[in-house]
Structure 1
Amino acid sequence: MAHPAFRAAAVRVRAPATSANLGPGFDALGLALGLYDDVAVRVADSGLHIDIAGEGADTLPRDEENLLVRSLRVGFSALGGQPRGLEVVCANRIPHGRGLGSSSAAICVGLLAARAVTTGGEARLSDETLLELASEIEGHPDNVAACLLGGFTLAWGQAGDVRAIRMEPAASVVPVVFVPARPLATKTARGLLPRTVPHADAAVNAGRAALLVEALTRRPELLLPATEDRLHQEYRTPAMPESADLVGRLRADGVPAVISGAGPTVLALAEDGEADKIARLAGAGWTANRLSLDTEGARVLPLAGSEQ
């Protein structure tokens, strides 16, 4: 592959927050949410300059260790070569370490931006390859599939490849997220999972995951039973007892509530007319946000003031 040429103009990429698992769909199901990180990337003559505003402004690295930059580098390598320099400007709104897919957003932004600033990038790097690369960087496909495709997604491995399909969530479903003040590392949450689970629990989850596809796309009245989980949430309770307690209280009130991804954010899948009331149920220590469903996924947008 010949060394690529790069566009002089900056590109802007927007990526949505995501919630993975959704109860029983461990490492397979994901949902794109209407909360976004916006990033502008420009190829420069030399060096690396990173400007970060919003979430992570005080904690994220401003060098080659930055996850977004590492993802840019992976994308450029797949496209045939690295640019001489980069300028990256981030406006981050997705909370970090809360189970809302901030790392997946950074990964998808980096890969999409690398393709967008490369001349002929879409011909060199397909959407299918983007998903493969994003899954490899993240370590699992559920969040990155939802981030790239938008909507409600199902991801799986097949013959060593990663595949994903997008489904249309019911328009009446409104995500409500309850975000705690303290983060939780995904590595910590995954470390609590057992190597094996009882066969009966696996059977329940298989049925509930299948039901969730029907419930979230066509029959939201089935969301409460469809979001029951026996594979991961209970095992992670020691790392997030307040989140587990909130999930239990909401479900006891008939609200389909789950741990979002690895936690500790709690996701409720509310009916439109109930969302505002549900958002008031958490109490002190939580920031409740009623969100929309993202239907487009990560995408390249015109820069502010541009006619493109």
Structure 2
Amino acid sequence: MRPFRISVPASSANIGPGFDSMGLAVNLYLTLEVTESEKWEFTSPSLSSNDNFQDHFIFQIAAKIAERHQTTLPVCKVIETSEIPLARGLGSSASAILAGIELANQACDLHLSSEDKLQYGTEIEGHPDNIAPALFGGLIISTLTGNEINWLQAPALDVDLVIYIPNTELKTEAARQVLPDSYTREHAAAASGISNLVVASLLAGDYELAGKMMEKDMFHESYRSALIPNYDQIRKEAKFYGAYGTVISGAGPTMISFAPKGEGPAITEPLQAILPDYHVSVMKIDMQGLTVEQ
């Protein structure tokens, strides 16, 4: 087996009203350096020296994919590094799932197609909104109907992203629990119209309208906002300093602003001063998605 390197970007799901159907890849990365070895070694920030490599989530995903193809993983040395914070709404689980799928694909020579990886990842994750952008890169609109996944990669967006990552975690399960079990027809129709207009305005390059409509989400943000530290302040201050709009990243607590190209630093500097316990930075949209180097 030749050594290889897997890189998977972080992702920001929902983009306001694109609930469970829209996601964007960003330039924070989970990386695996893999070489053949005489014994299994898995070096990871999430594993202590006393932990067994078989307990690692990425290994477990890889082993399941290998088993699905009636084979076993060869013995490897895996060195994991990650820039993606856990439980912050930046798709850390989706990135780990794809890393595990690709580890099995490369190590076992499975020749999986991109659609295979999308299908496997979605089955494990439950929906494709983080999996698809982490796999393909860019802004992806996707939907799962039955067992069929349909998706579209939008043209590259001419914007800066400003990301506000707090020190606190928020588990997706907790963020899901505050959502209603159902919506009235009128509510669902209005919420869908807002989501449709966000997509249309992004595709048309009307970022002013997109930002305005992002902040009018009716599917999840109003219910989750109480769980997000400084939610109202971040939206207000980001708008004051020039952002088109600011939304919760995934289930939170990270938030993300869309800003005019080149104007991200003008938002980042004052917001970092206002939010000293946050990591505030200008990010880029990753347009490549999962990559493998050999």
Distance 1:214 1:169, change over 3 A: farther
**How many Å separate the matches in 2 of 1:186 and 1:274?**
31
Give distance in 2, aligned partners of 1:65 and 1:26.
Answer: 32
Identity of aligned residues (%): 29
* Corresponding residue number in structure 2 for 1:107: 97
Distance 1:51 1:10 in 2: 16
Say yes or no: does 1:193 pair with 2:179.
Answer: yes
Is it true that 1:233 corresponds to 2:221 in the alignment?
A: yes
Under a length normalisation based on structure 1, what TM-score does the superposition of the two structures give? Answer: 0.86
Unaligned runs of 5+ in 1: 1-7, 303-308
Query: What residue number does 2:136 align with?
Result: 149
Q: Choose the corresponding residue for 2:155, options 137, 144, 168.
A: 168
Q: How far 1:248 moved relative to its partner? A: 4.7
With over 3 angstroms needed to count, the CA separation of the structure-2 counterparts of 1:164 and 1:74, relative to structure 1, is farther
Selected match of 1:277 from 258, 263, 266: 266
Tell me how far apart the structure 2 counterparts of residues 235 and 260 of structure 1 sit (CA, whole Å): 14
Bigger drift between 34-43 and 135-144 goes to: 34-43
The Cα RMSD (Å) is 2.3
1:300 aligns with 2:292: yes
TM-score normalised to the size of structure 2? 0.89
Name the structure 2 match of 1:135.
Answer: 122
Q: Say how many residue pairs are matched.
A: 288
Check 1:268–1:118 CA distance in 2 against 1; reply closer, same or farther (3 A cut): same
**Which whole-Å CA distance do the structure 2 matches of 1:161 and 1:65 have between them?**
31
In 2, Cα distance between the equivalents of 1:187 and 1:9? 39
1:195 partner SS: coil
CA contact (8 A) 1:215 1:226 kept: no
Aligned in 2, Cα 1:263/1:117: closer, same or farther, shift over 3 Å? Answer: same
User: 1:13 touches 1:299 (CA, 8 Å); kept in 2?
Assistant: yes
- Contact between 1:17 and 1:147, CA under 8 Å: does it hold in 2? yes
Q: In the alignment, is residue 207 of structure 1 matched against residue 196 of structure 2?
A: no
The residue number in structure 2 matching 1:86 is: 76
The amino acid that maps onto 1:199 is R
For the residues of structure 2 that align with 1:198 and 1:246, how far apart are their CA atoms? 30
Greater displacement, 172-181 / 277-286: 277-286
